[in-house]
Amino acid sequence: MNAVSLEKVTKRYDSFDAVSSLTMEIKEGAVFGLLGPNGAGKTTTLRMIVRILLPDQGSVRVLGEPLSERTQDLIGYLPEERGLYRQMRLLEILRFLGALKGLSEAESERRARVWLDRLGLGDRVNYEVHSLSRGMQQKIQFIAAIIHRPRLVILDEPFTGLDPVNAALIKDVMLELRNQGATIILSTHRMDQVEQMCDSICLMNKGQKLLDGDLKAIKKSYGNNTVRMEFIGDQAFLQLPDIIERINPYGEMVDIKLRPGADAQQILKSAVERGVRVHRFELIEPPLNDIFIEKVSERNA
């Protein structure tokens, strides 16, 4: 069964279509990445799945059911725009939000305590929200999104503003939920996180789908046309316009995109001729980052 299926969904605003005729399926138990540049329609799409917005055309189904208050309770949602009631205590706010998702208040409070302990906020259950740092507030919102053990968890940029320790903590919880059978939709601009975590993706731009499917299959379809190199010496050896289409430097490391049909060995040869010391030379699948940039700029051009 699909956790989410959208069929020809359109959401129209006055002057433009935020989402136009989007068809997309998300398999149950997957970690799904919804990608796209700013203003691509990701948040609008997520809001329609959560039933905050209603589509103008098309149908949305969650776990096989048309949207209703019942499906809302099956979903946990961490919106990108964040905030909490400032004057409420942590335990109160989590008890309230859990109850709003269908838990009894006692059960909601019990689970809130467990999660606060686990995310390192156990000693602050009676603190008011405004006394917490942004990162701590974000953890509270994350708990609010998962406290009722939703079968579908939607996280819009869950890692922004978190330090690496907390980001890892959240990531562990996400993968744990996935292992327990939950489906996770991740909307983010961080391609490295998508590559680490997602099974499948959908790339959107201007309200339309550019590509979607299994992440590995997508990368494979682009072939091994990228060389990842580490070296010491002058970069001048990379001036091979017939072979190299684009260079993405990452500090110590460069990703080199080859022209179709070009031979990677030419680069190695050029390096040896110029006396550059090569530490790493690897033929890899294209990074998602490159696919993203290529696809989006191709459409915008």
Partner 1 sequence: MRKIWLIFKREYITRVRTKAFVLGTLALPLLSIAILVISILLSGGTSRNSTRIAIVDEVGGVGGAVEKALREGKSSAQLKPEVVQVVQVVEHPTPETEAYLNSQVMQNELDGILVLPKGLLKGTAAAQFHARGMRTAALMGPIERAVNAAIIARRLSAEGKSAGAMKNVFQVVQVQLVNASSQKEEDPSETNFAVAIVAGMVLYMTLIVYGMSTMHSVMEEKTTRMVEILVSSIKPFDLLTGKIVSVGAVALTQYLIWALTIGVLFASAASVTALVRPGAATPGINLSPMLLVYLVVFFLAGYFLYSALYAAAGAIVSNDEEARQAQMPLTLLILCSFMLFNVILNNPNSTTSVILSMTPFLSPILMTLRVAMQTPPLWQIVLALGFSIATTVYTIRISARIYRVGILMYGKRPSLKELRRWLRYS
Binding footprint of partner 1 on the chain (CB under 8 A): 14, 47, 50-56, 69, 72-73, 75, 77, 79, 81-88, 96-97, 99-101, 141, 144
Residue among 29 and 79 whose Cβ is closer to partner 1? 79
- Taking a C-beta distance cutoff of 8 angstroms, is the pair 21, 10 a contact? yes
Instruction: Write down the least CB distance from residue 36 to partner 1, Å.
Output: 19
Q: Which is nearer to partner 1, 144 or 186 (CB)?
A: 144
Sign of CA dihedral 82, 121, 177, 31: positive
Least distance (Å) between residue 283 CB and partner 1:
45
**Residue 301, helix vs strand vs coil:** coil
Q: What's the CA gap between 228 and 194, in Å, rounded?
A: 19
Angle 268-274-279 (CA atoms, 0-180°, nearest 5)?
A: 50
For strands 31-35 and 200-205, give the pairing: parallel
Nearest residue (CB) to partner 1, 88 versus 247: 88
- Identify which of residues 36 and 55 has a Cβ nearer to partner 1 in the complex: 55
Going by their DSSP bridges, the two strands 75-78 and 152-156 should be labelled as parallel
Cβ of residue 35: shortest distance to partner 1, in angstroms?
21
CB neighbours (10 Å) of residue 125? Answer: 16
Q: Which is nearer to partner 1, 159 or 292 (CB)?
A: 159
Q: What is the CA radius of gyration of the chain?
A: 23
- How far apart are CB 59 and partner 1 at their closest, in Å? 13
Instruction: Compute the least distance from the CB of residue 96 to partner 1, in Å.
Output: 5
Strand partners, 227: 256, 283
